[in-house]
Amino acid sequence: MCSATEAIEFLSAIRGHRLYPALLMLLLYGIRKGEVLGLRWQDVDLSASRISLRQQLQHIGGEILQGPLKTTKIKRDLPLLDPVADALASLRNPRLNSDLVFTTSEGTPMDPDNFLRDFQKLRRQHGLRVITVHQIRHTVAKLLKSFGVTDRNMQLALGHSRIVTTQEIYQRDDADSRRDVLQG
């Protein structure tokens, strides 16, 4: 898990990188790697300021496959935040014949394994301590908790089919939260 300060510093450092919009979405929304890589232009509604998560991209058996999200319960709509809208606007390239938002320079689906390698390379280059892309979800959950977001709203934002998942996995207490409770 990284802190909010580390996340902000990291995003500032990679602002001009081609993966900035995808990593910005991971850090702001806590969405899964497959969800961000599977995002289609038709799922980005600028006029309604909404992103609809409907599919994912996965690397299975040596193939990169687009498919539905694991369950219908985790299909969700998220507000299109201004920084994300600005970052996505810089990606639109009509010369590439792809419905996916995040692609290779040739317009083909981005390999999730390459995305992870590129993230780790950027992390090392910019001094972010060792974390995984999935741990970013924990960071977002912790930040949402610290902002007083309800468990139900966290569940909806993170795309958990059951609220128990949000409560058990992503809201592990820490020394600060125990101290706050005990001090009243």
pLDDT at 149: 83
Q: For residues 51 and 76, is the Cβ–Cβ distance under 8 A?
A: no
- The CA distance from 184 to 113, in Å, is 46
In this model, does residue 102 exceed pLDDT 90?
A: yes
- The CA distance from 138 to 86, in Å, is 25
Helix (H) or strand (E) holding 171: none
Q: Are residues 85 and 17 in the same domain?
A: yes
Q: Are residues 84 and 150 in the same domain?
A: no
pTM of the model: 0.83
- The CA distance from 49 to 177, in Å, is 34
- 83 band by pLDDT with thresholds 50, 70 and 90: very high
Q: Are residues 152 and 68 in the same domain?
A: no
- The parent domain of residue 88 ranges over 4-131
Residue type for 55, please? Q
Give the burial class of 182: count Cβ atoms within 10 A of its Cβ; 0-12 exposed, 13-18 middle, 19 or more buried. exposed
Q: Are residues 56 and 112 in the same domain?
A: yes
Q: For residues 2 and 138, is the Cβ–Cβ distance under 8 A?
A: no
* Boundary (domain end) residue, out of 109, 131, 153: 131
Q: What is the CATH number of the domain that holds 116?
A: 1.10.443.10
Q: Are residues 139 and 125 in the same domain?
A: no
Q: Are residues 162 and 179 in the same domain?
A: yes
Structural domain total, the chain: 2
In a 3-state reduction of DSSP, which class is residue 79? strand
Q: Are residues 37 and 61 in the same domain?
A: yes
Q: Are residues 77 and 123 in the same domain?
A: yes
